[in-house]
Structure 1
């Protein structure tokens, strides 16, 4: 992709994602992802119904009249995006590849974060940590993230979600909200996910394509594994092959969902040919 095309794509994604963030997600994001706690704001005279535990005894003694401390939510968060850049993200059979949906969702979350004065950082991962972008604020930082989402080429193509989660746990010292955006085509990340969620607020966004759920009958086909580059000849018209594949998908998805439940992870699944806005809104409202 040349520079002109890159700039054009960055601008297109910025316009769309800023619009969604401003018009749709602003309130839901603010409500769904709370700050680290409550911080002192001011004192005022005691009013009927105030919690007596909030009485400021020093000020009360000074003025010989009860005063209470007023607290407000500490809104500033650090948001981390854990982006799967393995080979399987390049799959897609409708209008968009999985990587296109991942890019748009990451951009929307980024603009939602800075609109709420939160810092945003990114971890690109395959079977290793491909790139780490430190959390910062501001539009310039978001545009840098979008450029990387569009143009970044990983060294490796296989997946190790546990490695990304371990890196998050070690690299980010204070509690953050971490979105893991992946197709979750990996099966050994439960322990790392459990540990990461004890320290941080981890949210899983599973991206998949409808053709990954079932095999169409199109005859004998030479298929390539996007992560290992291995080729296999598959008779897609064979009923037993179709049923075995469909069963594999159901078992794999059920296993992933079971891991999310056991680890207490809020999550949603987003299909490439469906409106991801609805899925994100459902997730946000479920957290309120």
Structure 2
């Protein structure tokens, strides 16, 4: 995008691209109808259990009582009403169509980076908000887990706007905490993602939809294996947020080298040196190919999401 396009989009989204506020997350509520026009990805045929049905939920919910009729299940007879009225009554149930939707957002310090549009952390929060508003619009209950390795906000699924608003406030709180720690260069080690996964497994009940949003910078085999376990009884979708600069360095003519760090080691790269930039691009490509292969081998849905373009522009590929 051009600098003018970036400025216009930032203004439209009510964001500076670095810090996070409620107004920019509430923005996606106005995009429900536009986003709903895109065809949603269906569960894979390998996903077992209730997720394959068009209508799924927690089970059956009591609806009303009426007079017993021939053919009714005697196990559904309401004996208290029958005793009180002297006539047989049976309970009627309706299937609950709402589904529990969990959104796990990783706001680790590695997400505090952006070279073209917004920080990866901001993009992750925007994606979570868009997904949450869509789920609420469909009548699903929204909950989630937001973590940066120090602060963990957990929310059990709630219906209507309550679930979404709690999640959005949680995103803002954890995002602010991450920025503060980043600016102060916090030395206290963060908990690994595996701890957040343990929390998620305690929250989730079978038959849920789980959205995982992260840059997967600190992911290891145990995380992906854990998500595979969850996918046996739930629909799991993973979104890998990345910045274009993490895949290829910009071509430049600066005489000053570019300092590149993975958080542990730092290397100075000469942008005018094609060999160095090609080596960087090849290493980055190998990393992402290996990551995508790990998810594919476990039959987990994985979608790359760029931090260099608005969610609206990418929604048809994301949804």
Bin for the TM-score computed over the shorter chain = 0.7 to 0.9
Contact kept? 2:212, 2:237, Cα under 8 Å: yes
Secondary structure of 1:123's partner? strand
SS in 2 for 1:149: helix
Supply the distance in 2 between the matched residues of 1:191 and 1:21 (Cα, whole angstroms).
33
Q: 1:143 to 1:236 in 2, by over 3 A?
A: same
- Which of 7, 19, 29 is the matching residue for 2:30? 19
Aligned length: 254
Instruction: Using the TM superposition, give the Cα deviation of residue 75 of structure 1 relative to its aligned residue in structure 2, in angstroms.
Output: 2.1
Calculate the TM-score normalised by the size of structure 2.
0.66
Asked if residue 271 in structure 1 is aligned to residue 284 in structure 2, the reply is no
Q: Distance in 1 between matches of 2:35 and 2:206?
A: 29
Q: CA deviation at 1:148?
A: 2.5
Q: The residue matched to 2:172 in structure 1 has which SS? A: helix
Contact 1:36 1:74 in 2 (8 A): yes
Deviations 1:23-47 (A, max 9, x none): 32278569778534886999xxxxx
The 1:9/1:250 distance shift into structure 2, 3 A limit, reads same
Query: Is the 1:85–1:157 Cα contact (8 Å) retained in structure 2?
Result: no
Note if 1:191 corresponds to 2:202: no
Taking the aligned partners of 2:152 and 2:291, their CA distance within structure 1 comes to 24
- Larger CA deviation: 264-273 vs 84-93: 264-273
Aligned-pair CA distance for 1:137:
2.3
Gaps spanning 5+ residues in structure 1: where?
Answer: 43-55, 60-70
CA distance in 2, matches of 1:120, 1:40: 19
Alpha-carbon distance change, 159 to 262 in structure 1, aligned in 2, over 3 angstroms: farther
The verdict on how the C-alpha distance between 1:268 and 1:28 changes in structure 2, with shifts beyond 3 A counting, is same
SS across alignment from 1:94: coil
Q: Counterpart of 1:133?
A: 155
Structure 2: state its 5+ residue gaps: 1-14, 44-50, 64-68, 73-92, 182-187
Report the equivalent of 1:58: 71
**3-state SS, counterpart of residue 21 of structure 2:** helix
Distance 1:268 1:279 in 2: 11
Residues 31, 256 of structure 1: alpha-carbon distance in 2 compared, 3 angstrom cutoff: closer
What is the SS of the residue equivalent to 2:211? strand
Do 1:129 and 1:163's aligned partners in 2 also have CA atoms closer than 8 Å? no
How far apart are the structure 1 equivalents of 2:315 and 2:236? Answer: 15
Compute the displacement of 1:258 (Å). 0.8
Q: Does 1:90 align with 2:112?
A: yes
Question: What is the RMSD of the two structures over their aligned residues, measured on CA atoms?
Answer: 3.6
Change (3 A) 1:259 1:21: same
User: Aligned in 2, Cα 1:140/1:76: closer, same or farther, shift over 3 Å?
Assistant: closer
TM value normalised by structure 1: 0.73
Q: Paired residue for 2:22?
A: 10
Q: Please give the per-residue CA displacement for 1:105-152, whole angstroms capped at 9, x wherever unaligned.
A: 111111112222221112123447722122222324423322321232
Aligned-pair distance for 1:97? 1.2
- Other-structure match for 2:197: 165
* Cα distance in structure 1, aligned partners of 2:276 and 2:38: 47
Contact between 1:220 and 1:236, CA under 8 Å: does it hold in 2? yes
Matches within 5 A, 1:204-219: 204-216=238-250, 217=252, 218=254, 219=256
Q: Secondary structure at the match of 1:253?
A: helix
